[in-house]
Amino acid sequence: MTHDPGPDLSGLTLAEKASLGSGADFWTTKAVGEVPSLVLTDGPHGVRRQAGATDHLGLSESLPATCFPPAVGLAQSWDPDLVGRVGAALGAEARALGVDVLLGPGINIKRDPRGGRNFEYFSEDPLLTGVLGGAWVRGLQGTGVGASLKHFAANNAEHDRMRSSSNVDPRTLREIYLRAFQKVVRTSAPWTVMCSYNRINGVYASEDHWLLTTVLRQEWGFDGVVVSDWGAVQDRPAAVAAGLDLEMPGDGGASDARLVAAVEGGACPAEDVDTAASRVAALAAKARGSGGGRAADSARTLGVGAHDVEAHHALAREVAARCVVLLRNEGALLPLAPGGSVAVIGGFARNPRYQGGGSSHVNPTRVDVPLEEIRALAGSGTVTFSPGYAAGEREADDAAGLREEAVSAAAAADTAVVFLGLAEHQESEGFDREHIELPAEQLDLLAAVVREQPRTVVVLSHGGVLRLAPVAGLAPAILDGALLGQAGGGAIADVLFGRVNPSGRLGETVPVRLQDTPAYLNFPGENSAVLYGEGLYVGYRWYDAREMEVAFPFGHGLSYTSFAYSDLELEQDAAGVTAHLTVTNTGDRAGREVVQFYVAKPDSAVSRAPRELKGFTDVTLEPGRSERVRVLLSREDLAYWEVRADRWVVEGGEYVVSAGASSRDLRATAAIGVEGDAPRLPVTLDSTLGEVMADPRAAAVLAETLAPPASADGSSTALGVDMVRMMASIPIRRLASFGPVGLAELEELVARVNAGD
C-alpha cells in the first residue's frame, strides 16, 4: 500500500481520533470530520454483504453474490493467474455492493487436518499459500477494493481460539507460519492485515508489539491498517500501543473512552493514537479515491448491476473445473463417453456441498446441481439417481433399503458415479473435527456398489482432509472436488465427460491414518495452550522426513494425458537459482501440467526437511508438443531462519533441485553450488568451543590461547575418545574451571573476537 496521509487530522480532538479506530457497528467504521466511513465485510470466496441495517452479530441474511470455490478448492488449481481473476471478480462484486474492504484471503497454514477452518485456508505449504494469496490480493485490489490478509498469526485451530496460546519456536514461526504473510505483504501490499484471536507464545496477537510493529511494519515494510478480528481486542490501549489501528466491531464508544482515559492517564502514548487514526484516514482516502467509501451513494443502493452475474458464474465454473483433482483413474475409466448409462448415487449429487459454514458463508446467485449437469452432458445415455445413504436422517432399516436400491441401479448401468463427502454440520468455523473419517454408511454403500459394478467413480466433497485409504482400496477412479463453489456441479460434469482435462493438484497431504499426522499428539491443545511440537515438520515435510507411506502426496493429481520431463538445467545469479526444464505431452489429448520444483540441502548444518517446494509453474500442451519452462527459485525462499543471528541466512554449498509432479513423484534432478551468506554470530562466554572454532576469524583469535590437547603421538585422542569432538560442546566459560585460562582472560578474548581485533 503506497502511503497516503489522507485528510488532515490536526483539528480533531483526542476523542475524535480515538473514535476513528473502532467500528460504528458490525460492518462499518465511523465518519469523523473529513474522514468517510468504510464498509468491511466477509469474503473470501464471495461477498457476504448484509441486506439492510447490520445487526449486532452480523448474521442476518446477505445479498446474492457469486460463490467461488473456497480456498481449499482454489488452492488445488495451483494457478496464480486464475486466482487473480477470481480476486478481480470479487472486487467487481464488492464495488457493486458498496464494500470497501473484503475480509480475505485466509492464509494460515493447515497444521492439522482436523482444523475446523481448513476449508478457508489454502495449503500446508507456505510458498504455495503465499503465491496464491498474493495473486488473490492483487486481483482484488486492482479493482479498488482493499484486502484484509488474515488471520495474523498462528491461528491453526478453532478450539478455544479466542484465548489459546500457540506456543511455537522462533524458527518454525518464521519459516512456516509467518512466511506466507511475509510474501504477500512484500509482493502484493494488502491494504489491511487482520490480527487473530489467539495468543502467540503467551501474548495476544492484538497486543503483540513484536508481531504488529517489529515484524510486520519495520521488517516487512507494511504501511496499511492493522484491523482486529471481530472481537479479538481484549485491551484496546495495549493493542494500540502494540500497533493495532482499527478495532472491530463497534461497541458504542466504550473502548474509545477507555483509550482516551489511558492516554490522559499516561498509560498509552498520544502519538500512538495519532498514528492509528492517520492510518485509518489514509485507508478511507484510498477507498474513496478508488470509487469506494461511504461517499459512493449509488453503491449504497446495493444493486448488483455493475458486474455480469452470468459471466461470473461462467468464471466460477471454469475455476471449479481447474480445481478438481483426479486422484485415481485405473484402467482409464475416465473420461466417460456420452451415450452410456450412468447410475448417479449419493445425496450430494442432488444437494451439493459447495462451501464451508461460518462467517464466510455466501448467499449464491445460483447453484449448479451435479445430477442435472451430468444429465445435460450424457447425450443419449440414461442417467438414473439413487440417494444411496441416509446420512443419519432416517432409521437404519431405511438406510439398508436405500443401499439396496442404489446397488441395483449401479448393477444395471454401464458406470456408477458415487458422490461421497461431509455435510455442513460435520465441519465448520467454530469447532475442530474429532476425526478424518467418511461416514460409515457411505463406505458401506461404496463397498456394496463396487461389488456389483466394478466401473465405479467416486466424487468427493469436503472442506478438510479425509482418510481415503478405504475409498482408494475400492474405487478405480476418484475425483476430489474439495469444495468447488456454486458452479461445482457443472465443473464435475465437465471433468467426468472429458470436456475439461483435469489438472488440479492437492494442496495438502492425504495421510493413511490420523495417527500418522504431525500434530496428532499436540492438537488442539489443552489448558488454553497448544504446543507446536512438530516444529518445522508440517505436512509433506513430516511424511517425507519420516519416509512414511501416505494415501496421496502433496501436489498429486492425474490427467487424461501424460507428460515427460527432460533436460533440467540450473543457473544462478543474485536473484537465486533459475531452473529450466523441457515438458512434453506424451499422451493423446491436450492437457495442462503443473510442474513443481523441490529443493534439498543434503549436508545442511541445520535441521531441514528432505525437500521443500520452492517454485512451480504450469504449461498447457497439445499432444506431442514440448515447451521449455523457466522458474526462479528465489534466494529469499532458499533461506532459513538463523535463530542465533535473528535473521534469514542462505547456507552455502550444494543444493539439489528436483522437478516433479508431486512431492513423491520427482522426475528430473540436478545439483548446483550456491554461495552462502556469512552471518557474524556474536560470541559469548556461553558459546561452545565448536561454535567459536567454526568461525575462522574467531578461531584464529582464540587459538592464541586455547589449543586442543594432544597425545604423545601428536593426535588429538586421549582417554580413548576424540578430544576435539568431545570438547566442541564445552562452553568457553567452563574452560576457566579446567585449565590455566582465567575468566577475566576469557572475557577479554571474547571482547576481541566481537570487536574484530
Per-residue pLDDT tens digits for 438-459:
999 999 999 999 999 999 999 9
203 with 267, same domain? Answer: yes
- Give the pLDDT band of residue 720 (cuts 50, 70, 90): low
31 domain residue, yes or no = yes
Residue with cell 465454473: 317
pLDDT, tens only, 621-635 = 999 999 999 999 999
Characterize 135-162 residue by residue with b for buried, 16 or more Cβ atoms within 10 angstroms of its Cβ, and e for exposed. Answer: bbbbbbbebbbbbbbbbbbbbbbbbbbe
> Which pLDDT score is estimated for 358?
87
Residues 543, 550 contacting (CB under 8 angstroms):
yes
The H or E element spanning position 40 is strand 40-42
Share in percent of the chain as helix, strand, coil (round to 5)? 35, 20, 45
418 domain residue, yes or no = yes
Percent of the chain with pLDDT strictly greater than 70: 92
For residues 425-429, give the mean pLDDT: 90
CATH of the domain at 600: 2.60.40.10
27 with 109, same domain? Answer: yes
492 with 382, same domain? Answer: yes
CA 499 – CA 615 distance, rounded (Å): 29
Which residues are CB-neighbours of 730 under 8 A, at least 6 positions away?
Answer: 688, 689, 738
> Which pLDDT score is estimated for 300?
40
616 with 661, same domain? Answer: yes
Strand residue runs (E) in 81-130: 101-103
307 domain residue, yes or no = no
121 with 189, same domain? Answer: yes
Angle among Cα 110, 478, 481 to the nearest 5 degrees reads: 45
Q: Which of 358-367, 423-432, 563-572 has the highest mean pLDDT?
A: 563-572
- Give the pLDDT band of residue 723 (cuts 50, 70, 90): low
Domain boundary among 458, 478, 501: 501
Residue 593 structural domain: 563-674
CA 249 – CA 235 distance, rounded (Å): 14
- Give the pLDDT band of residue 690 (cuts 50, 70, 90): confident
Percent of the chain with pLDDT strictly greater than 90: 81
**466: buried, middle or exposed (CB in 10 Å: 19+, 13-18, 0-12)?**
buried
Of 468, 552, 444, 456, the C-alpha closest to 505 is 552
CATH of the domain at 352: 3.40.50.1700
Residues 429, 359 contacting (CB under 8 angstroms):
yes
339 with 385, same domain? Answer: yes
Query: Looking at the predicted structure, is the pLDDT value of residue 648 above 50?
Result: yes
Task: Give one word for 662, left, alpha or beta, with left for phi > 0 and alpha for psi -120 to 50.
Answer: beta
Domain boundary among 640, 674, 708: 674
Greater confidence, 41 or 50? 41
Residue with cell 465443473: 491
Query: Looking at the predicted structure, is the pLDDT value of residue 417 above 70?
Result: yes
Of 465, 468, 448, 449, the C-alpha closest to 457 is 449
710 with 740, same domain? Answer: yes
534 domain residue, yes or no = no
Query: Looking at the predicted structure, is the pLDDT value of residue 292 above 90?
Result: no
- Give the pLDDT band of residue 5 (cuts 50, 70, 90): low
CATH of the domain at 158: 3.20.20.300
737 with 621, same domain? Answer: no
- Give the pLDDT band of residue 464 (cuts 50, 70, 90): very high
Query: Looking at the predicted structure, is the pLDDT value of residue 727 above 80?
Result: no
Query: Looking at the predicted structure, is the pLDDT value of residue 704 above 80?
Result: no
CA 16 – CA 746 distance, rounded (Å): 59
CA 7 – CA 36 distance, rounded (Å): 10
For residues 228-240, give the mean pLDDT: 97
Q: What is the DSSP string of 94-105?
A: HHHTT-SEEE--
254 with 123, same domain? Answer: yes
Residues 668, 657 contacting (CB under 8 angstroms):
no
Which residues are CB-neighbours of 73 under 8 A, at least 6 positions away?
Answer: 320, 323, 481, 482, 483, 484, 485, 488
276 with 201, same domain? Answer: yes
Residues 335, 283 contacting (CB under 8 angstroms):
no
90 with 228, same domain? Answer: yes
pLDDT, tens only, 129-185 = 999 999 999 999 999 999 999 999 999 999 999 999 999 999 999 999 999 999 999
CA 472 – CA 553 distance, rounded (Å): 13
For residues 212-232, give the mean pLDDT: 98
CA 429 – CA 157 distance, rounded (Å): 9
Active-site residue (options: 112, 229, 245, 272): 229
- Give the pLDDT band of residue 751 (cuts 50, 70, 90): confident
Q: pTM of the predicted model, to two decimals? A: 0.94
For residues 330-350, give the mean pLDDT: 97
Neighbours of 205 (CB within 10 A): 28
For residues 571-580, give the mean pLDDT: 97
Angle among Cα 230, 234, 235 to the nearest 5 degrees reads: 125
C-alpha 102 chain-centroid distance: 17
pLDDT, tens only, 663-683 = 999 999 999 999 999 877 788
> Is 480 an active-site residue?
no
Residues 224, 190 contacting (CB under 8 angstroms):
yes
pLDDT, tens only, 306-339 = 579 999 999 999 999 999 999 999 999 999 999 9
Work out the mean pLDDT of the chain and round it to a whole number: 92
- Give the pLDDT band of residue 294 (cuts 50, 70, 90): very low
Residues 1, 224 contacting (CB under 8 angstroms):
yes
459 with 604, same domain? Answer: no
Domain boundary among 674, 700, 730: 674
Of 749, 700, 708, 711, the C-alpha closest to 727 is 708
Question: Residue 755 to residues 58, 135, 472, 682, 746: CA-CA distances in angstroms?
Answer: 59, 46, 63, 10, 14
The H or E element spanning position 582 is strand 576-585
- Helix 488-496 to helix 370-377 angle, to the nearest 10 degrees? 40
> Which pLDDT score is estimated for 553?
98
Strand residue runs (E) in 586-689: 591-600, 612-621, 626-634, 640-642, 647-649, 653-662, 665-674
Which residues are CB-neighbours of 214 under 8 A, at least 6 positions away?
Answer: none
**What is the number of structural domains in the chain?**
4
301 domain residue, yes or no = no
> Which pLDDT score is estimated for 592?
98
Grid cell at residue 301 = 443502493
Task: Give one word for 373, left, alpha or beta, with left for phi > 0 and alpha for psi -120 to 50.
Answer: alpha
Greater confidence, 478 or 681? 478
- Which of 109-118, 138-147, 728-737 shows the lowest mean pLDDT across its residues? 728-737
For residues 233-256, give the mean pLDDT: 96
